[in-house]
Structure 1
Amino acid sequence: MKEINKEDSNNLEEKKEEKEENLNEDKTVNVENEEKNSTQSPLPPPSYRNIETTKIVVEQADSISFEEKNNLLLESPPIIPSPFLRSPSPSPALLSSSSPFSFSSQNLSDNSSQMSFIIREKLHEFAKDLRRRTSAVREELCREPTPTDEQAEEDEDEDKDEKRRKSGERRPDQASLMSLIGLHQEVKSDEIVDVPSRLLPSNIDPFSKLYVSWLSFVLIAFLYNSFVIPLRCSYPYQTRSNLRYWLFGDYICDLIYLVDLTLIKSRLTFMRDGINVKSPPEMLHHYLTSGVFKLDLFSLLPLDILYIWTGPICAWRIFRLLKLPSFWEFFELLDSSFSNPYAIRIAKTFCYMIYIIHCNSCVYYVLSAWQGFGQIPYNYKGKWYLNKWVYNNEGNAYIRCFYFTAAVATSTGNNPAPTNVIEYIYMTFSWMMGVFVFALLLGQIRDIVSNANKNNEEFRTTMDRALSECKRLGLPEHLTARVRAWFLYTWEQQRTLEEKRLVEKLPLKLQTDLALSVHYNTLSKVKLFQDADRAFMRDLVLRLRPVIFLPGDIICRKGDVGKEMYIVNNGILEVVGGENNEIVFATLTEGSVFGEISLLAIGGNNRRTANIRSKGYSTLFVLSKEDLNDVIKDYPDAQQLLKKKARQMLRKDEKGKKGAEESKKNLIERCRVSCDLRTPRMLSAVAQLLPSKSKTVKQLLEQPEIKEEKEKKKYLKRWSTIPYEFSDASDIMEERKRRQPLSDRKEKIN
């Protein structure tokens, strides 16, 4: 056996090459034979052969290993290459042996036939499964989905994707070919790569807080370069001892520039044809083709390498100032983010002013150093003088030069006169800059301040006009004071008197969204509108309007026809009664609703049942009957639902009233004590003996004394809550007197 294996190993490579050539020549013939064999001749019965050691590793099929040792293998028909794979399997280049013995040519052919048979069967199963899936998808597309089904499917897909991401599995549409046909890949433990989570999202919204926060770092780096580069080029603040600190700050700013160029700007989303594009390739292409990319790229030119030949001259970093668009973008985002952007605009203008003075002070120091800091005398009309126009190198150089240039730019006067041509040119340029540039900046500041106070000025003008009209009409002082109080409270709460006009400038869809966010939760608390159609509620919230009531205002009076429904937004209302509304029956606070039944006028209930007064300043949302009818005509189902709920609420109120009346009657009955006394039997017997028309009988039956006492008690006990029929001590004494015999009473009278 060993001798045969040695001979086979010597001729193995030649046989492999011959077999590969034969298979390549018969590729087309085998495809036709496969179709004929699958339809005409069945597969021959398998035979069993004992193989000592077999190991086949198919690297092309995603490193799938097929190993058996001392097992029985099925001997299948000769290999038929699949037209789907387009290559015979396995090829000689993919065969390897791990045992000390080599394969024979017959064993190789049998194993190749076995693998071909398995792959062919798996392909048939894959085709059946694909047809089944196609039919299921076609049926699903034909069925019209409901919004709830779509939402459920989206949620289910998101949950499945999340589980796959956590487990590291692939989605079905991302599965490999070998996994689809049933040959799953075995991944070795040492080949598993742990992909770290991304520190940055794949796309960044240019209006998000994340991007604004990053721009703040870019702004700091830009301001550092803008102020430090002219400073180090002119003033002697860069020395050998502190050079490493300056270089450290320079390269930290360069790192920020580089991160902004490579990781941030290339991930910014953008609008195209009204659609927010979030595709990474498109975002990258949009950034690379923009002018901002060219400026960002030039701002990172590595001219610092010239330090090797020229020394650390900071002027080579002048291109870092090309990051100016990031400065503008940062302030624009802040301007649109804050509700009061005037402070941001003033800060931006102030930066311009300070930077111009800073650069001018650097030029002034260079001129002073060039002229020896005033130590070189000059001749004027035959006399020699020291130059007092330049900086004399005393005190803090930067502060003194900054003060001089600020005084020149603002034209405050009392400045030294220039002594030569260069000084005259510098002073002329500084004055021109002060006249035009600073005038422009100061005018911009004036506009910002005036716009900030524009609403306040309009409010004051409107209130003064209204108060003047009240005075012209001769209105009472207390009424004028109420007008003034309304203006002041409205301005304090809203900061505008034309809130509705401002909202009307927005699109209808945006108006609806604003109204929903403000009023929907409030309107949904009303029992009448609970469980109503959301579309109906969306149209209804647009009709709510806020109304402000002053302290003591009567919102509605008892008996008035109800045409509005009120919802308390803030403040306290009182349900009052009595002659002068001095009795407070109940208190209504935020969220309370009243007047909703009168909107539908079910059963003629359109009258107010109580007086409601505002205790302090109150803001109410009002819905009128006309607005409700205008909206509800388009929703017949909602109309029926509202009427049904209104009837239920009326029946519930009637039951409550009846229950209260019955409980009141029961309480009165329990508290009542009868004071009626039975007529004595003797008197009844006497009355029966006497004629029925006798006056004595009538007097005995009527008992006028008791009636008179009862009438007196009604007026005497008006203050008491005890029923009038309740007997007290005086009643008992009177009854005892009546029970006395007539003879005893006559004696007392005599």
Structure 2
Amino acid sequence: MRVQCVPQGVLTSNFLILYFQDFSDSFQILHAGRALRILRLAKLLSLVRLLRLSRLVRYVSQWEEVYFLNMASVFMRIFNLICMMLLIGHWSGCLQFLVPMLQGFPSNSWVAINELQEAYWLEQYSWALFKAMSHMLCIGYGRFPPQSLTDMWLTMLSMISGATCYALFLGHATNLIQSLDSSRRQYREKVKQVEEYMAYRKLPRDMRQRITEYFEHRYQGKFFDEELILGELSEKLREDVINYNCRSLVASVPFFANADSNFVSDVVTKLRYEVFQPGDIIIKEGTIGSKMYFIQEGIVDIVMANGEVATSLSDGSYFGEICLLTNARRVASVRAETYCNLFSLSVDHFNAVLDQYPLMRKTMETVAAERYSMWFKQIQSNNNKQGLTQQRIFCLRLNKIGKNPNIMQQKDDGEGNADSNTISAVVNALAAEAEQVNNISFSSDESESLKKINSDMSLNEMTQSLRMSLPRPKSGEFRALFEGNSP
């Protein structure tokens, strides 16, 4: 059929039908296009996968606990905050670009103003992220201020949420930085309090210097309430921690080398850490002993009454046990020659442990007898220039007793009472020697000194004095031996 043969009415009616059909199809396509755009919003549901970041944070926390990342934990938390800040900026930037895109990029939108409609996706994302971060950090609106109502509302929403998150970020980061080394911060606060106290009390400069140096050496820039921390642990865990902390002491002290592991554990759990400066008097002669000490690090001098140094002790040695065994007064002073890191054991804990391990008590009594012998040898050498004295006589007797193999028994000898093996032998031998004091041959000078002593003191009085000079045991049975009574 040719066109010129088509009636005009037919052409008009067909055109109108085709026109409305095409309009209907166009409307459907346009409507479908908007629907497809709206359906794109469904893709936002895929952002739910980002919630898996919480799992990552949880895994990081577990890694910190398993691998003991204590030092790096704070840095890891700060890194998590920075990542969270960037994530919020990413979401805000995507929202800043999504709304104009759904609107078809109006001419007054920030995307159209920056001519980013056909730009590469990385450039679009970079400008969107820059705009969002500018809002979050409250430094501006981006490249241009908002020109449309939609951009204005998006800008306000982004600035409010971003500023809130930024403030929370700063506060949390500040707390993390402060807790980066809380022990050092507590140490600085403690030193500041001490300085204010010294200024308030108007202490002399040299004393302030000693106090400052003590804190520096004692705490090494870190302050812990170790007793509180250990007190909150279980008994087994506390014992394991203390044994680990004292491992170097146990390794350096020969006394612990062959000792029973249970005995060593019972001792170290009752030790208390102490620090002394050079020149400090750790033990003063004539005082009643309440502690014994183990040297972890440092050198101490055993000082006689005349100021002469009898001997020196260093790492791995211990001292002060004699008076704890005998309940006597200190027979010599102990002075710190260098900075000394010591562990002290109180008399109550000392007796409580040795009551459970009699063989170890016997061993310590043997060592104490040897040390008494060495001490009186020193007195003997000092008294040679001054004539015979009571200490001279006592020194001669105790020197023989200290070398008596019946007294110096081995540690693995478990027969007999640990108290009587040493103490009774010392008392009986000394009493027997004291009765025969006149049978000893002395030089002319010593004889004159002895006569002078005998003129002032009878033999019974001398024997009683010698008994009183001996260390006095705690039990009533052995105390009677020293007082001259029958047990």
TM-score by length of 2: 0.57
CA displacement 1:453-493 (0-9 Å, x = unmatched): 65444433333333333333332221122122222333425
**Greater relative contact order (Cα 8 A, min sep 6): structure 1 or 2?**
2
Q: Which residue of 1 aligns with 2:293?
A: 566
Q: Percent identity?
A: 22
Q: Describe how 1:232-631 pairs up with structure 2 within 5 A.
A: 320-321=49-50, 323-336=52-65, 337-340=68-71, 341-366=73-98, 377-378=107-108, 388=113, 393=119, 396-413=123-140, 415=142, 416-452=144-180, 454-492=182-220, 495-519=222-246, 522-523=249-250, 526=253, 528=255, 531-570=258-297, 572-575=298-301, 588-601=313-326, 607-616=330-339, 618-631=340-353
Q: CA deviation at 1:330?
A: 2.1
**Secondary structure, aligned partner of 1:510:** helix
Q: Describe how 1:83-122 pairs up with structure 2 within 5 A.
A: none
CA displacement 1:175-194 (0-9 Å, x = unmatched): xxxxxxxxxxxxxxxxxxxx
Q: Which residue of 2 aligns with 1:649?
A: 367
Question: Counterpart of 1:346 in structure 2: which amino acid?
Answer: I
Q: CA deviation at 1:327?
A: 0.4
Q: Tell me how far apart the structure 2 counterparts of residues 316 and 500 of structure 1 sit (CA, whole Å).
A: 54
Q: Which runs of 5+ in 1 are unaligned?
A: 1-312, 380-384, 664-750
Q: Describe how 1:142-153 pairs up with structure 2 within 5 A.
A: none
**Secondary structure, aligned partner of 1:407:** helix
CA displacement 1:283-303 (0-9 Å, x = unmatched): xxxxxxxxxxxxxxxxxxxxx
**Secondary structure, aligned partner of 1:569:** strand
CA displacement 1:90-115 (0-9 Å, x = unmatched): xxxxxxxxxxxxxxxxxxxxxxxxxx
Given that 2:279 and 2:338 are in contact with CA atoms closer than 8 Å, whether structure 1 keeps it comes out as yes
Question: Counterpart of 1:613 in structure 2: which amino acid?
Answer: A
Question: Counterpart of 2:360 in structure 1: which amino acid?
Answer: L
Of structures 1 and 2, the larger Rg is shown by 1
**Secondary structure, aligned partner of 1:546:** strand
Q: CA RMSD in A?
A: 4.2
Q: Tell me how far apart the structure 2 counterparts of residues 607 and 662 of structure 1 sit (CA, whole Å).
A: 18
Q: Tell me how far apart the structure 1 counterparts of residues 127 and 309 of structure 2 sit (CA, whole Å).
A: 74
Q: CA deviation at 1:650?
A: 4.2
Q: CA deviation at 1:544?
A: 0.5
Q: Tell me how far apart the structure 1 counterparts of residues 209 and 375 of structure 2 sit (CA, whole Å).
A: 43
Q: Tell me how far apart the structure 2 counterparts of residues 470 and 659 of structure 1 sit (CA, whole Å).
A: 45
Q: CA deviation at 1:396?
A: 4.8
**Secondary structure, aligned partner of 1:448:** helix
| Pair 1:654–1:442, CA change in 2 (3 A) | closer
Q: CA deviation at 1:431?
A: 1.7
**Secondary structure, aligned partner of 1:607:** coil
CA displacement 1:322-365 (0-9 Å, x = unmatched): 53343022221244332333222211111111111123333434
Question: Counterpart of 1:553 in structure 2: which amino acid?
Answer: D
| Pair 1:657–1:476, CA change in 2 (3 A) | closer
Question: Counterpart of 2:364 in structure 1: which amino acid?
Answer: A
Q: Tell me how far apart the structure 1 counterparts of residues 248 and 375 of structure 2 sit (CA, whole Å).
A: 30
| Pair 1:658–1:548, CA change in 2 (3 A) | closer
Q: Tell me how far apart the structure 2 counterparts of residues 546 and 590 of structure 1 sit (CA, whole Å).
A: 15
Given that 1:561 and 1:608 are in contact with CA atoms closer than 8 Å, whether structure 2 keeps it comes out as no
| Pair 1:596–1:485, CA change in 2 (3 A) | same
Question: Counterpart of 1:646 in structure 2: which amino acid?
Answer: M
| Pair 1:432–1:657, CA change in 2 (3 A) | closer
Q: CA deviation at 1:447?
A: 2.5
Given that 1:562 and 1:608 are in contact with CA atoms closer than 8 Å, whether structure 2 keeps it comes out as no
Q: Tell me how far apart the structure 2 counterparts of residues 588 and 404 of structure 1 sit (CA, whole Å).
A: 73
Q: Which runs of 5+ in 2 are unaligned?
A: 1-41, 382-487
Q: Tell me how far apart the structure 1 counterparts of residues 56 and 88 of structure 2 sit (CA, whole Å).
A: 16
Given that 2:289 and 2:323 are in contact with CA atoms closer than 8 Å, whether structure 1 keeps it comes out as yes
Q: Which residue of 2 aligns with 1:141?
A: none
Q: CA deviation at 1:505?
A: 2.0
Question: Counterpart of 1:519 in structure 2: which amino acid?
Answer: C
Given that 1:335 and 1:345 are in contact with CA atoms closer than 8 Å, whether structure 2 keeps it comes out as no
Q: CA deviation at 1:656?
A: 6.8
**Secondary structure, aligned partner of 1:353:** helix
Given that 1:346 and 1:445 are in contact with CA atoms closer than 8 Å, whether structure 2 keeps it comes out as yes
Q: Tell me how far apart the structure 2 counterparts of residues 468 and 350 of structure 1 sit (CA, whole Å).
A: 39
